[in-house]
Amino acid sequence: MIDTIDETKEFLKKDDYRLVDNRTWDEHIGKEGGYSYHKLKGRIEGAVYGYAGKTDSNSMDYYRNANKTMRNGYEILSMWKDDCKIDLNNHLAFMCGSGWRAAETYWDAMVMGLDNTSLYSDGWIAWSNEGNPYVTGDPTK
């Protein structure tokens, strides 16, 4: 299932929905934009940090082994539950900046047998370009 911007706005109002931000921490908190061609920085309010790469918008270090294969599914699930505090009983919609990192994470979720998931493919770039509200800063503080 692929979610549109309008659907995502409605879904964010639900208690059993989590928008999982699969970008770097610096992108998530608005320290970096992640893309040379897109200057807006921040995150969609209500999105939870779901990890992606450690360095830049071209990496998926937290989801891949050194040989670029998918990391062990149990390790990913543990990361989501323990580090991200994501309740796997909620609907999980994956997003990133432009779509490819979220698509990879969505695929991983399907491989792990999670079926209450979707892809918000428009991502941060489309969200912010349309003038939708967003936030910056460390959400844990």
The kind and range of the H/E element at 19 are strand 17-21
Could you tell me which residues come within 8 angstroms of residue 47 by beta carbon, excluding any fewer than 6 positions away?
Answer: 19, 20, 21, 28, 95
Catalytic residue among 96, 109, 119, 125: 96
Could you tell me which residues come within 8 angstroms of residue 36 by beta carbon, excluding any fewer than 6 positions away?
Answer: none
The span from the first CA to the last CA of the chain, in angstroms, equals 33
Would you call 96 a catalytic residue per the annotation? yes
**Catalytic positions:** 96
